[in-house]
Each structure stands twice: as structure tokens, then as C-alpha cells.
Structure 1
Amino acid sequence: MEGSDLSTKKCIPCSSKDIHAMSRESAMELLPQVKNWELVTDNDVMKLQRSWKVKSFTKGLEFFQLIANVAEAEGHHPDLHLVGWNNVKIEIWTHSVGGLTENDFILASKIDSLDTEYLLRKKKIASS
């Protein structure tokens, strides 16, 4: 698995008999390939989670549409949250197995490769 580019892989169907939830150790090995994503456990379910600040409510919806296009193409759908007017949070896990699979890391990598800079709030740079 090392050295493989997750964004070039394709999600395998969740109905496949070959898909099983991975161990925490396996997830920790893949985590460095999806920078800025966190491994979280929610009700004993491991998930990938990441947050962004967008410029506006409508930019958040545009961001969701970009993600929806990738998710549909992969047949793998994350949980999308727009909290407040500009806080986007995404959680990814394979619902059918109740945990993480390589599909989740593939989707996270594909989301990371989207051109979203025009949607995101710029961090204010402190003047020296």
C-alpha cells in the first residue's frame, strides 16, 4: 500500500463480500496519505473527519456540490455538515461495515485533490 496514490484508485462497491472494516493500525498507516484528516471514534465507529471554513453559506453549498460529484462518481458517500454559516465538516466511513475501509481514504484523497481554494476563507496574516 505504501507509495500508492489513493486519489488514482477507485472505490470498490460496498456490497462486495471482500470489504471489511480495517483495524486501527491499518487506518493509522494510511492516515499520513490524507493530510489534515483526523481519525475519530464515534460510538465505537472509526471515521475520517476534516473541517474547513468557507467564505460564505453559499460557498459551503458549492463545496458540497463538488464533493457530491466525486462521491457519486465513486459510489461512496460521506456525511456533510454545514454548521453555522461557514463551517464545513465532513465525516467519512463505510456505513455497510460500520468502520473504515480503503474506500474512505480514497474518497478523502479525492476530496483533497479538488480545487476548492476559491471557496475557502483565507487565514489572516499577522503583520510584522
Structure 2
Amino acid sequence: MEDLSAKKCVPCDSKELRPMTAESANLLLPQVNGWKLAKEGEVLKLSRSWKVKSFIKGLEFFRRIGDVAEAEGHHPDLHLVGWNNVTIDIWTHSVGGLTENDFILAAKISGLDLGELLRRKAKAVDARLEED
């Protein structure tokens, strides 16, 4: 199986691009540690949450995610709730569900060194998730 973080997202305007099934998504999920599948109505998404040290660190977190998203041409939904709760939802809006692009972007986000932005307790939890 090819490392998802080494792949590049494909343009989402392809007529052949279709949302994957929950079964297909569950096969790829182990390759993106810390992410979970979430269903909103009929839409399947990848979701992950972090706690950052401060509001400003949350904005920096989003800037770094934004750089990766722009490079891939694939953009997640970013949520900063309260002053330090960050959640990212990834799904392919144009098909109304998950595609391999979403897993590629999640893998690239997971590969970022964001430790100095995260709360210490959150970093410990994040490290335990990646050990599983």
C-alpha cells in the first residue's frame, strides 16, 4: 500500500470522482492515525480535534494547515471553538462524501510538526493515539 502522505490530491472536478463507501473508508482509516469517521446526515467525513495552547496558536495551527491545503488544492473545514479547541473536518464537497483526496490531506496534516502549538496534555494524548 502506497504511503498516503506521498500522494498528491487529484482535481475534484472530475466527472468520474465518486464518494467512497464506509467500508472503503474504514480500510484507509488505519493509515491516518488519530482521525475518525464522522457522519453528518448522509455525508461521511474525516474528523480530528486538538487543544492548542492559545487562541493565537490556534490561528497559527490553521495557517499551517492552510498552507498544506493550498498546496494540495483540497480544503478542509476548520473550526476554532472557544479559545483553544480546534477541529478539522475533511470531505470532498463536490461529491458529497469521502474520496482518497481526503485521506491524503489527513495524512499530510498528521505529518506536520505542530507540537509547539498544542497543549502539553493534548500532546501526550496525541502521542498515545499514534502509538496505537
CA distance in 2, matches of 1:100, 1:18: 14
CA distance in 2, matches of 1:44, 1:31: 19
CA distance in 2, matches of 1:45, 1:31: 16
Q: Which residue of 2 aligns with 1:94?
A: 92
Cα displacement string for residues 74-94 of structure 1 (whole angstroms, at most 9, x for unaligned residues) = 000000000000000000000
CA distance in 1, matches of 2:44, 2:64: 24
**TM-score, reference length from structure 2:** 0.91
Q: Give the CA deviation at 1:117.
A: 0.3
Q: Summarize the alignment of residues 38-117 of structure 1 with structure 2, pairs less than 5 Å apart.
A: 38-117=36-115
More helix by share: 2
Q: Which residue of 1 aligns with 2:129?
A: none
Structure 2 unaligned segments of length 5 or more: list them: 125-132
Larger radius of gyration: 1
Q: Give the CA deviation at 1:43.
A: 1.2
Equivalenced residues, count: 123
Match of 1:120 among 105, 118, 121: 118
**TM-score, reference length from structure 1:** 0.93
Match of 1:18 among 13, 16, 19: 16
Q: Percent identity among equivalent residues?
A: 68
Runs of 4+ in 1 over 4 A off after TM superposition: none
CA distance in 2, matches of 1:4, 1:52: 27
